[in-house]
Structure 1
Amino acid sequence: MRFLIKIALALVAAALLYWGYTEFGWAGVAAVAGGLMMWLLLHFTRLMTVMRRAAQRPIGHVDSAVMLNAKLHAGMPLVAVIGLTRALGELTSPADEQPEVYRWTDPGGASVLARFTHGKLTDWGFKRPEADTSGNE
């Protein structure tokens, strides 16, 4: 499916370039190429901003696991979740295997465990810290 999307985007870009050439000549090609380059730079800048913010925080940290749990929905890309948490998740699954499982923990000990398949959120779970039942304070 992802392969088909990449092919479709390439075909749309080629069609736009062809349209620019047939309507306006080489000036149209330059204008369309400039627009495509701006679109690519916009997405690259957004990705770098998210990663720069995430690099400034500890891995697996989130301000509130409860709020993160409430904001997640199936199909979210990993980059969007990193943008919400402003931190990279702690990888809990074996490296380079699908699905990838990441954990984010808040200062109170509550955590969200999220499973991603091919970069898309499939499911997640919220875990509260265990209460101390020994009576010691």
Structure 2
Amino acid sequence: MNLRKIFIPLGIVALAIAGYRAYGLQGILTVSGGLVMWGLLHYTRLMNVMQKARNNPIGYVGSAVMLNARLKSGVNLMHVVAMTRALGEQLSAEGQEPEVYRWTDGTQSHVTCEFVNGRLVRWNLVRPAPGEDPAGES
């Protein structure tokens, strides 16, 4: 069970109650202003990540090896998109868990990432064999 779905609303209610008990209506307005600011900061970050990602093709990353080295379990999809500056190529069916995305670099090395509940749980780096032609030409 995702505890964030329980603790975040409870935290908001606790902040509102504490604000009211300390400062009355002005405390509730202050807490509301802080929550709006928190929401706007997240929205701004999301928009900045998407603006940077629009300049690269879907599923492209500069270096799959470097991406593999920088990935950590538990980060969310937006964090990975911010690292790659590109949306991942979706390999799983839409709305299906786990969500599987792939990022490929110019040498055809690719990193395949699995996300469960929006969080990275496992990833795999695949590199072509040294004698293998990356373009697949003979």
The TM-score with structure 1 as length reference comes to 0.89
What corresponds to 2:96 in structure 1? Answer: 97
Residue 94 of structure 1 deviates from its aligned partner by 2.2
Alignment correspondent of 2:84:
85
Deviations 1:40-63 (A, max 9, x none): 111111112112211221000000
Give a deviation string over 1:84-107, Cα, whole Å, max 9, x none: 101000011222211111110111
Deviations along 1:60-95, whole A, 9 cap, x unmatched?
A: 000010100000111121111111101000011222
- Cα-Cα RMSD: 1.8
Match of 2:111 in 1: 112
Distance (whole Å) between structure 2 residues aligned to residue 6 and residue 41 of structure 1: 20
Q: How many percent identity over aligned positions?
A: 48
Match of residue 122 from structure 1: 121
> Structure 2 CA distance, aligned partners of 1:11 and 1:119?
22
**Partner Cα separation in structure 1 for residue 62 and residue 119 of structure 2:** 22
Match of 2:38 in 1: 39
Structure 2 distance, partners of 1:19, 1:96, is: 39
Match of 2:49 in 1: 50
3-state secondary structure, aligned to 2:43: helix
Match for residue 27 of structure 1?
Answer: 26
Aligned to 1:68: 67
Q: Tell me, which stretches of 5 or more residues in structure 2 are unaligned?
A: none
> How far off is 1:110 after superposition?
1.1
Shift of 1:132: 3.0
Q: Equivalents in 2 of 1:132, 1:7: separation in Å?
A: 51
The equivalent of 2:58 in structure 1 is: 59
- Per the alignment, in what secondary structure is the counterpart of residue 45 of structure 1? helix
SS in 2 for 1:109: coil
What is the deviation of 1:129? 2.2
Secondary structure at the counterpart of residue 124 of structure 1: strand
Q: Which runs of structure 1 show a deviation greater than 3 angstroms over 4 or more consecutive aligned residues?
A: none
* SS of structure 1 residue aligned to 2:113: strand
The number of aligned residues is 134
